[in-house]
């Protein structure tokens, strides 16, 4: 191209841009009137709140949904809710991503060959009804298999099953705690999971039960633990063969050899039974039936030193309110039934006397089955006995051993139907898929614990052509029997609630989101005969041969169900800080034995089990253990325990080979160690304080009414990253994906840094913008986009930022995030954006603002009433979600504020104090 042509082209281009930009400023937007103003006072620009219940896992925490312009934009914990006490975990926070997921199923789909054909609801219902009638004639059984269900939907399912002659199979959950329920059935005749009175205990011993991750009600337990530690001085020992987040947070973590839990519990029981105080609790027949075991054998078996064992026994003897909980991986192995039985028997001795178990507030696992029920279903499928199979909200294909070939056998049903909101392994094999409405689009109720009725209410109109499970069942009932319980599920709920609640209860139900119905506490008694029989069958087994694999539940995806939510892929795993992708953990020593580094693939094999994943070195993990997160298990569990029906999650005698392949793992932490920098100070760091003398060319900051500050208690922080997820959603932080993470371009405003000491003990510190008095980022900004505001906030004016990134270079805490791209939000994800926040575009620096939009809202409320903002009126998103109340926010200039009082405690310090940045984030060191 010559110069002339170039200039011609330039002229053309600039001319067109000039002309096209004419009038672009005006008439860009419309003001659209309402036809009739909404009754409930929804006003544009003003937030409304609705109470509801989270349904990401069977725990069912209480939530409040924040609505803007008729759409849900944020979830927070419902402060009064009896299950979660105001906290919400990261999976709960990410539930909005499920609602607005771009791949949500939008219409019923019928399988045609390898693809799907969208069909109408009418046709789908007709097909199901016809198939049900036809298979009943051909003496095939129709079946209904659902995930954990409670409340009105469970009642409706029962009516539906009765009237339409459909077999309602036991509910399927992968974490079904079957061994525990069977043990309680055996001991007390109650096949239920009690509520544990952790908040009243002064000593907690957990064996395998991952209280903080996936065990029954993790958010509630985290809160109970925090309260007990604070008020009862609870001491907590955790016993497990691997390293979990729960173990990392216990006061003492005892590492035992895999498969030795039963021996350990037996020795404990036998030792405690020698004390007169406990011997009275056990009838002589039971004492006689207990197999004898010596301390040497227990030591040898568990790999624990004798001193640890005797100390554990002594602490249990001394404690006034000891509580022992078994579960998790301890009961999900071949000797799992024994572990559960002995653990529950120990509870009878230790915990039942002070009423630490409440069976009248049992968790909702009453109708849960186990993998044996699934095996039975698989057999029926193989024998061509199944007519219509409706599978709702559960994923049996993913969670059954691959050798069962459940996916292929499902095709042998006359018609298989999956009800789900997003595709699962199961829905990919069924003939028909019915899309379900999401939690935020329908009325419903759940009963997470006996006596606690929790409300689910719609926050918005359904986004897609979906229906609720209740409506589907009612219509099927109508088609099959000619009459249904009610015209719609909403009507059905109204009828049921009128029967269930008094008028005042109903009002509280709608306004507060839950109703608790008390029932007198019944006493439980030990059934001696079956207990003796079961004890006689116990044979103390040898531990599993090393190396062993432990399949762990994930705090990020539970049993894998939440892995489809992109936000959770973006938040690092608390222990390994890996974000996107799968991995297998092993100790650095074991890694050097196999000659693998981070990201190098390891193939683990045993007779009929094989998995290959990139390695991730995990300090603190015992040698001889491979930790396999459940998401990394590509092909279902390796097998089931035929005695209990739980999936096998601990497998010994594993062979491992490096495959030579290397995968780039996005690992967000720079180093597992603090490298002596005292970010979480050890005693050595506290000795000399070497403050740099403060010199500045700028005027000293002067605060008149407010100096916002935050106190983070590291003793309480459990590293669960609920705050991180909450921050992401509140501030519409973009999710950037694996490739960007590999380049170190993650966008999280708040991160949890795990640090390991030489003994492999982990401590966690949340790191966010420190809002320094003398912030190093401010003076280097050439355009005054980063500046210090009169209330102490380090503000970033986004539209003024030109993207030099000097501020980020100069920040010692590395908390500033740069937008390398115009991040895309696949529709309808953009509906989740918080309208109180400026949209950031390519080339802008962003960071934690202390939730300035919430401060602004508080200013406006206070301004209306002509007063100052009260303490506790501003709660940033991170503090709101924290299950242990580790984060306190407030005004330092108010001497009565919680934060001002907290920072006076001797545990207070600030990170990198020596730099003289004077941060406004105060940490309370853990010891």
Partner 1 sequence: MSDKAPKRPGTRLRKLFCLAVFSYFALLVLATLSASLVRGFFAPPTTQPIAFPHTTHADKLNLACDFCHSGVKQEASAGVPALSVCLSCHRAIATDRPEIEKLLGYERRGEPVRWQRLHNLPDFIHFTHQRHIQAEQPCAACHGAVERMLEVQRVRSLKMGWCISCHRSRGAPRDCATCHK
Give me the residues that bind partner 1 (CB under 8 A), please.
Answer: 3-4, 7, 10-11, 14-15, 18-19, 22-23, 26-37, 43-46, 787, 789-791, 793, 795, 797-800, 836-839, 852-853, 856, 860, 863-864
Least distance (Å) from partner 1 to the CB of residue 65?
Answer: 20
Q: Which is nearer to partner 1, 43 or 165 (CB)?
A: 43
Q: Which segments within 577-734 are labelled E, that is strand?
A: 584-586, 600-606, 609-617, 625-629, 650-651, 655-662, 708-713
Nearer to partner 1, 876 or 883 (CB): 876
For partner 1, which is the closer residue by CB, 442 or 840?
840
**Smallest distance, Å, CB 794 to partner 1?**
10
Residue number with CB closer to partner 1 (27 or 759): 27
Q: Which is nearer to partner 1, 103 or 799 (CB)?
A: 799
Residue 919 dihedral angles phi and psi, to the nearest 5°: -65, 160
In angstroms, what is the minimal distance from the CB of 170 to partner 1?
49
SS3 17: helix
Report the DSSP pairing between strands 71-77 and 62-68. Answer: antiparallel
- What's the DSSP call for residue 769? -
Instruction: Please classify residue 525 by burial: count the beta carbons closer than 10 Å to its beta carbon, then call 0-12 exposed, 13-18 middle and 19+ buried.
Output: exposed
Beta bridge partners of 788: 794
Nearer to partner 1, 22 or 684 (CB): 22
Q: What is the DSSP letter of 693?
A: P
Torsion of CA 330, 336, 339, 340, to 10 degrees: 100
654 or 729: whose CB is closer to partner 1?
Answer: 729
- In whole angstroms, the minimum distance from the beta carbon of 462 to partner 1 comes to 20
d(CA 198, CA 213): 16
Which C-beta is closer to partner 1: that of 646 or that of 836?
836
Spatial separation of the C-alpha atoms in residues 777 and 795, rounded to whole Å = 10
Whether the Cβ atoms of residue 196 and residue 323 lie closer than 8 Å to each other: yes
Smallest separation (angstroms) from partner 1 to the CB of 893: 16
How would you classify residue 127: left for phi > 0, otherwise alpha for psi between -120 and 50, otherwise beta?
Answer: alpha
Nearer to partner 1, 671 or 799 (CB): 799
Q: Token pair of 175, please?
A: 């974490």
- CB-CB contact of 918 with 775 (8 Å): no
Smallest gap from Cβ 858 to partner 1, in A, equals 13
d(C-alpha 757, C-alpha 627), whole Å = 20
Nearest to 921 by CA among 823, 848, 825: 848
User: Furthest-apart CA pair in the chain: how many Å?
Assistant: 107
CA distance 765 to 275: 42
In the complex, the smallest distance separating the C-beta of residue 32 from partner 1, rounded to whole angstroms, is 5
Nearer to partner 1, 102 or 790 (CB): 790
261-273 and 306-318 helices, crossing angle to 10°? 50
Quote the least distance from Cβ 812 to partner 1, whole Å: 23
How many beta carbons lie within 10 A of that of residue 197, not counting itself? 18
Helices 336-350 and 178-188 sit at what angle, rounded to 10 degrees? 50
Closest distance between partner 1 and the C-beta of residue 863, in Å? 6
Q: Which is nearer to partner 1, 46 or 607 (CB)?
A: 46
Q: Does the bond joining 547 to the residue before it have cis omega, within 30 degrees of 0?
A: yes
In whole angstroms, the minimum distance from the beta carbon of 839 to partner 1 comes to: 6
Shortest distance, position 798 Cβ to partner 1, whole Å: 6
Q: Which residues contact 765 (CB under 8 A, 6 or more apart)?
A: 679, 680, 712, 714, 717, 752, 753, 755, 911, 923
Nearer to partner 1, 145 or 785 (CB): 785
**Of residues 592 and 705, the one with the C-beta less far from partner 1:** 705
Q: CB of residue 36 vs partner 1: minimum separation in angstroms?
A: 4
Closest distance to partner 1 from the beta carbon of 834 (Å): 10
Say which residues have a Cβ less than 8 Å from residue 124's Cβ, sequence separation at least 6.
108, 110, 432, 434
Measured CA to CA, the distance from residue 359 to residue 190 in angstroms comes to: 8
**Phi, psi for residue 417 in degrees, rounded to 5:** -130, 135
d(CA 422, CA 435) in angstroms, rounded, equals 8
Distance of CA 294 to the CA centre of its chain: 41
State in angstroms the smallest separation of the CB of 773 from partner 1: 16
The token pair that represents 877 in the structure block: 């998103």
Min separation Cβ 838 and partner 1, Å? 4
Least spacing, CB of residue 570 vs partner 1, in Å: 23
Q: Residue 866 Cβ, how far from partner 1 at the closest point, in Å?
A: 9
Closer residue to partner 1 in complex, CB, 68/253: 68
Q: Measured at the alpha carbon of residue 211, what is the angle toward residues 205 and 217, in degrees to the nearest 5? A: 130
Minimal distance, residue 14 CB to partner 1, in Å: 6
Q: Please give the Cα distance from 627 to 313 (Å, whole number).
A: 29
Please name the residues in contact with 12: beta carbons below 8 A apart, sequence gap of 6 or more: none
> Is the CB of 19 or the CB of 539 nearer to partner 1?
19
How far is the C-alpha of 481 from the C-alpha of 136, rounded, in Å? 13
Q: In what helix (H) or strand (E) does residue 434 lie, and over which residues does it extend?
A: strand 432-435
Closest by CA position to 244, among listed 270, 278, 207: 207
Let me know how long the chain is.
927
When the beta carbons of 74 and 453 are compared against partner 1, the nearer one is 74
Residues 6+ apart with CB under 8 A from 280: none
Comparison of 211 and 852: residue with beta carbon closer to partner 1: 852
Spatial separation of the C-alpha atoms in residues 64 and 123, rounded to whole Å: 37
Closer residue to partner 1 in complex, CB, 68/195 = 68
């Amino acid at each position: 191209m010559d110069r002339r042509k170039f200039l011609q082209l330039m002229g053309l281009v600039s001319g067109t841009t000039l002309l096209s930009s004419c009038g672009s400023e005006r008439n860009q937007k419309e003001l659209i009137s309402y036809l009739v103003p909404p009754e409930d006072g929804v006003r544009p620009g003003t937030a409304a709140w609705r109470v509801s219940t989270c349904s990401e896992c069977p725990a069912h925490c209480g939530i409040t949904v924040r609505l803007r312009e008729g759409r849900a934009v944020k979830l927070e914990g419902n402060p009064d809710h009896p299950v979660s006490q105001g906290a919400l975990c990261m999976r709960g926070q990410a539930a909005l991503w499920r609602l607005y997921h771009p791949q949500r199923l939008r219409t019923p789909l019928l399988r045609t060959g390898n693809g799907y054909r969208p069909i109408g609801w009418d046709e789908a219902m007709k097909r199901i009804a016809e198939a049900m009638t036809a298979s009943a004639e051909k003496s095939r059984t129709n079946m209904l298999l659902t995930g954990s269900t409670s409340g009105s939907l469970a009642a409706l399912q029962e009516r539906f099953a009765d009237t339409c002659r459909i077999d309602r199979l036991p509910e399927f959950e992968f974490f079904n705690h079957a061994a525990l329920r069977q043990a309680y059935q055996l001991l007390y005749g109650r096949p239920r999971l009690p509520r544990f009175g952790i908040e009243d205990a002064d000593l907690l011993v957990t064996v395998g039960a991952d209280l903080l991750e996936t065990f029954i009600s993790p958010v509630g337990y985290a809160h109970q633990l925090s309260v007990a530690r604070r008020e009862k001085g609870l001491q907590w020992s955790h016993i497990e063969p691997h390293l979990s987040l729960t173990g990392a947070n216990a006061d003492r973590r005892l590492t035992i050899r895999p498969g030795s839990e039963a021996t350990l519990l037996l020795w404990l029981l036998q030792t405690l039974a020698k004390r007169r105080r406990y011997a009275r609790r056990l009838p002589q027949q039971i004492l006689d039936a207990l197999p004898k075991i010596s301390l040497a054998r227990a030591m040898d078996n568990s790999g624990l030193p004798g001193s640890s064992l005797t100390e554990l026994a002594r602490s249990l003897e001394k404690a006034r309110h000891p509580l022992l909980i078994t579960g998790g991986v301890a009961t999900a192995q071949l000797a799992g039934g024994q572990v559960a039985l002995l653990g529950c028997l120990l509870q009878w001795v230790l915990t039942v006397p002070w009423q630490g178990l409440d069976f009248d507030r049992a968790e909702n696992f009453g109708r849960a089955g186990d993998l044996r029920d699934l095996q039975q279903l698989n057999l029926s499928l193989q024998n061509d006995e199944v007519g219509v199979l409706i599978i709702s909200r559960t994923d049996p294909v993913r969670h059954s051993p691959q050798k069962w070939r459940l996916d292929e056998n499902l095709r042998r049903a006359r018609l298989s139907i999956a009800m789900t909101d997003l595709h699962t392994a199961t829905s990919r094999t069924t003939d028909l898929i019915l899309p379900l409405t999401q939690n935020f689009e329908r009325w419903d109720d759940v009963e997470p614990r006996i006596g606690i009725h929790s409300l689910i209410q719609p926050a918005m109109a359904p986004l897609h052509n979906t229906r609720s499970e209740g409506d589907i069942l009612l219509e099927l009932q109508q088609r099959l029997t000619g009459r249904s319980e009610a015209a719609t599920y909403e009507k059905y709920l109204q009828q049921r609630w009128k029967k269930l609640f008094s008028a005042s209860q109903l009002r509280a139900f709608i306004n507060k989101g839950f109703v608790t119905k008390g029932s007198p506490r019944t006493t439980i008694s030990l059934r001696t005969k079956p207990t003796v029989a079961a004890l006689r069958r116990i044979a103390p087994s040898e531990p599993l041969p090393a190396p062993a694999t432990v399949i762990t539940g994930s705090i990020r995806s539970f049993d894998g169900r939440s892995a489809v939510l992109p936000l959770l892929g973006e938040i690092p795993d608390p222990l390994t800080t890996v974000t996107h992708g799968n991995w297998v953990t092993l100790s650095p020593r074991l890694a050097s034995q196999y000659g693998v580094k981070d990201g190098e693939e390891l193939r683990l094999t045993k007779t009929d089990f094989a998995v290959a994943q990139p390695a991730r070195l995990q300090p603190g993990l015992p040698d001889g253990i491979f930790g396999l997160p459940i998401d990394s298990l590509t092909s279902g569990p390796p097998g089931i325990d035929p005695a209990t029906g739980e999936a096998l999650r601990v497998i010994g005698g594993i062979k491992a080979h490096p495959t030579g392949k290397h995968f780039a793992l996005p690992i967000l932490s720079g180093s597992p160690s603090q490298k002596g920098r005292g970010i979480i100070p050890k005693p050595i760091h506290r000795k000399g304080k070497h403050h740099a003398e403060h010199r500045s060319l700028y005027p000293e900051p002067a605060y008149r009414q407010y100096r916002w500050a935050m106190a983070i208690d590291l003793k309480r922080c459990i590293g669960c990253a609920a705050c991180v997820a909450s921050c992401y959603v509140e501030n519409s932080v973009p999710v950037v994906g694996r490739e960007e993470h590999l380049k170190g371009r993650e966008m999280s405003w708040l991160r949890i840094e795990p640090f390991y000491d030489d003994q492999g003990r982990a401590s966690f510190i949340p790191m966010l913008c420190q809002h320094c008095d003398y912030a190093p980022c401010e003076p280097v900004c050439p355009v005054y986009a980063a500046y210090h505001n009169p209330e102490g906030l380090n503000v970033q004016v986004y539209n003024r930022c030109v993207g030099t990134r000097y501020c980020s270079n100069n920040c010692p805490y590395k908390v500033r995030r740069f937008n390398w791209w115009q991040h895309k939000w696949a529709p309808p994800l953009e509906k989740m954006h918080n309208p109180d926040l400026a949209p950031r575009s390519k080339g802008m620096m962003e960071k934690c603002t202390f939730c300035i939009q919430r401060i602004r809202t508080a200013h406006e409320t206070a301004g209306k009433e002509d007063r100052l903002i009260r303490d506790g009126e501003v709660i940033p998103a991170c503090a709101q979600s924290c299950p242990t109340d580790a984060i306190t926010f407030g005004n330092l200039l108010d001497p009565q504020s919680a934060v001002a009082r907290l920072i006076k405690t001797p545990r207070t310090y600030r990170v990198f104090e020596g730099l003289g940045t004077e941060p406004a984030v105060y940490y309370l060191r853990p010891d």
